[in-house]
């Protein structure tokens, strides 16, 4: 690969999900450690994640609409960055994601085989098949783009880490009337679908049994879920829940998560954010697998009935990775009890 003044200028094409963006941090940290100057091209809703990575020198928002090719826009953007980069790391598997570095004439373009990208990438890694019972951990999937032998075996190198300016965190807390370490965050939503969501009634029951103030986080799409939880808890404990669904930017939500005493969530983007801030948490898995997308923190407890030897009958259908339960029962989630979650949170929170 070429370089200017001895520095390799690297462009990383980011994935589109918040959780996946967090899981690319070990890759970026490794690239920075070996002297590469990193810029990240990301869709607007994940750019706050990369601004919380000090090893990233530049973050720019991609002006693309999800699901559209926008070939002219990609060509125009490619022309504007020609000559600025020596190497590109393409994290997503899609054809579209490989077009920008190709059109920009970046000499070295690294990514996985996928979606007819043979001519677009100069270095193509074999794409792991990802059998549903033995999936490749996503943090290793992204980390392999650095092509460093043995890097994945160092557990500390595999753990994503984020950093936020303390002033910004305090501003977010002040805006919502919160005090650091004196509240618990619940994240009842999951962008992927209902087969990854612990039941609303379970979340409401849990919230009512937590003796710290409860903060509900999520996007505007989660507003109905959070409103239902708040209403159920309010009947017994008025004012106990603060519903911030759809009322925060991602940066605000990251700040609130980073200062939480505890967090309980489904397998979601904010689950990975909490792990990257090393916040104590309970992560609830249903249709997905903690073998594939675990919260990488010693302070994370995972509940997944698939690997519970005491749970009967066994969940032979899990993980199905479906958005909705193909069997219509969602046992993998409904049978995780509030008491199990509370036992993971003990003794400091209830």
- The rounded distance, in Å, linking the Cα atoms of 276 and 297 is 7
Do residue 289 and residue 189 come from a single domain? yes
Percent of the chain as helix, strand, coil, to the nearest 5? 35, 15, 45
Output the pLDDT for position 184.
Answer: 98
Same domain, 145 and 188: no
Does one domain contain both 117 and 152?
yes
- The Cα–Cα gap between 40 and 20 comes to 14
Residue 152: pLDDT over 70? no
Q: Is residue 130 domain-shared with residue 188, that is, in the same domain?
A: no
Q: What is the pLDDT of residue 132?
A: 54
Same domain for 205 and 321?
A: yes
Instruction: List, for residues 174-225, the tens digit of each pLDDT value.
Output: 999 999 999 999 999 988 889 999 999 999 999 999 999 999 999 999 999 9
Please give the helix or strand (H or E) that residue 339 lies within, else none: helix 338-345
Tell me which DSSP letter residue 127 carries.
Answer: P
Domain stop point among 95, 123, 158 = 158
| 321 in the same domain as 181 | yes
Domain final residue, candidates 136, 158, 180:
158
Distance CA 342, CA 350 (A): 7
Mean pLDDT over each residue of the chain, to the nearest integer: 91
Is residue 350 very low, low, confident or very high in pLDDT (cuts 50, 70, 90)? Answer: very low
Q: What's residue 154's pLDDT?
A: 62
Question: The domain containing residue 264 runs over which residues?
Answer: 166-345
Q: Name the domain boundary from 158, 186, 205.
A: 158
The stretch 283-298 carries a mean pLDDT of 95
* Residue among 302, 286, 106 at smallest CA distance from 190: 286
How large is the angle between the packed helices 338-345 and 200-209, nearest 10 degrees?
A: 40
- Report pLDDT digits (tens) over 7-22: 899 999 999 999 999 9
pLDDT of residue 157 exceeding 90: no
**Tokens encoding 107:** 């000499």
Question: What one-character-per-residue DSSP string does 244-282 give?
Answer: -TTSS-HHHHHHHHHT-SEEEEESSHHHHHHHHTT--EE
Three-class secondary structure of residue 305 per DSSP: helix
**Does 307 lie in the same domain as 226?**
yes
Asked if residue 146 belongs to a domain, the reply is yes
Strand ranges of the sheet holding 241-243, from the earlier edge strand across to the other edge = 241-243, 214-216, 184-187, 262-266, 281-284, 300-303
**Region 263-277 average pLDDT:** 97
Residue 172 sits in the same domain as residue 315: yes
Q: Quick check: 151 pLDDT over 50?
A: no
Q: Look at residue 3 and tell me if it is in a domain.
A: no
Q: What are phi and psi of 76, to 5 degrees?
A: -65, -45
Domain assignment of residue 2, yes or no: no
**Residue of 136 and 341 predicted with greater confidence:** 341
Take residue 172 and report the two structure tokens written for it: 């977010």
Q: Are residues 66 and 175 in the same domain?
A: no
Task: Using a pLDDT cut of 90, give the percent of the chain over it.
Answer: 83
Q: Are residues 148 and 216 in the same domain?
A: no
Percent of the chain with pLDDT over 70: 93
Same domain as 133, residue 229: no
Average pLDDT over residues 142-147: 91
Angstrom distance (rounded) from CA 84 to CA 2: 11
Is 350 a domain residue?
no
Q: For the chain, how many structural domains are there in total?
A: 2
Q: Which tens digit of pLDDT belongs to each residue from 220-250? A: 999 999 999 999 999 999 999 999 999 999 9
pLDDT over threshold 90, residue 285: yes
Can you tell me whether residue 97 is helix, strand or coil? helix
* 3-state SS assignment for residue 154: coil
In a domain, 227, yes or no: yes
- pTM of the predicted protein model: 0.93
CB 257 within 8 A of CB 181: no
Which spans in 150-249 are helix H?
155-158, 166-175, 200-209, 223-234
Cβ neighbours of 101 (radius 10 Å): 28
Of 178 and 148, which is predicted with more confidence? 178
Residue 1 in any domain: the answer is no
Tell me which range, 67-81, 137-151, 168-182, is most confidently predicted by mean pLDDT: 168-182
Residues 318 and 186 in one domain: yes
Q: pLDDT by residue (tens digit) across 82-140?
A: 999 999 999 999 999 999 999 999 999 999 988 788 889 999 998 885 555 567 899 99
Is pLDDT of 330 > 80? Answer: yes
Closest among 196, 341, 194 to 267, alpha carbons compared: 196
pLDDT at 335 over 60: yes
Q: Are strands 184-187 and 214-216 parallel, antiparallel or unpaired?
A: parallel
Q: What is the CATH number of the domain that holds 61?
A: 3.40.50.2000
Helix (H) or strand (E) holding 98: helix 95-103
Distance CA(131)–CA(128), nearest Å, equals 9
The answer to whether residue 224 sits within a structural domain is: yes
> What are φ and ψ of residue 177, in 5° steps?
70, 35
């193509």: which residue's tokens?
Answer: 124
């Amino acid at each position: 690969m070429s370089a200017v003044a001895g520095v390799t200028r690297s462009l990383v094409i980011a994935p589109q999900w918040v959780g996946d963006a967090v899981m690319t941090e070990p890759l970026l940290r490794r690239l920075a450690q070996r002297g590469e100057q990193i810029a990240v091209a990301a869709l607007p809703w994940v750019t706050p994640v990369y601004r919380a990575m000090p090893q990233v020198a530049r973050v720019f928002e991609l002006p693309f609409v999800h699901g559209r090719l926008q070939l002219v826009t990609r060509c125009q953007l490619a022309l504007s960055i020609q000559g600025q980069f020596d190497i590109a790391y393409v994290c997503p598997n899609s054809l579209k994601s490989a077009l920008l570095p190709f059109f920009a004439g970046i000499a070295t373009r690294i990514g996985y085989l996928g979606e007819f990208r043979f001519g677009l990438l100069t270095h193509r890694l074999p794409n792991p098949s990802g059998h549903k019972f033995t999936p490749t951990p996503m943090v290793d999937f992204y980390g392999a783009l650095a092509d460093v032998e043995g890097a994945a075996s160092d557990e500390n190198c595999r753990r994503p880490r984020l950093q936020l300016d303390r002033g910004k965190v305090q501003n977010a807390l002040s805006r919502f009337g919160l005090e650091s370490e004196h509240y618990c965050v619940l994240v009842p939503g999951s962008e992927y679908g209902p087969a990854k969501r612990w039941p609303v009634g379970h979340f409401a029951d849990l919230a009512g049994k937590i003796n710290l103030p409860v903060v509900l986080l999520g996007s505007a799409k989660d507003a109905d879920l959070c409103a239902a939880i708040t209403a159920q808890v309010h009947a017994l404990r008025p004012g106990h829940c603060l519903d911030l669904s759809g009322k925060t930017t991602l940066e605000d939500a990251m700040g609130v998560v980073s200062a939480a005493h505890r967090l309980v969530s489904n397998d979601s983007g904010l689950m990975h954010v909490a792990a990257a801030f090393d916040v104590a948490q309970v992560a609830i898995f249903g249709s997905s697998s903690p073998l594939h997308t675990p919260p990488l923190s010693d302070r994370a407890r995972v509940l997944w009935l698939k690997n519970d030897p005491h749970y009967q009958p066994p969940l032979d259908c899990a993980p199905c990775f479906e958005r909705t339960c193909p069997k219509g029962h969602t046992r993998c989630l409904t049978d995780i009890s509030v008491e199990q979650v509370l036992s993971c949170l003990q003794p400091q929170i209830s």
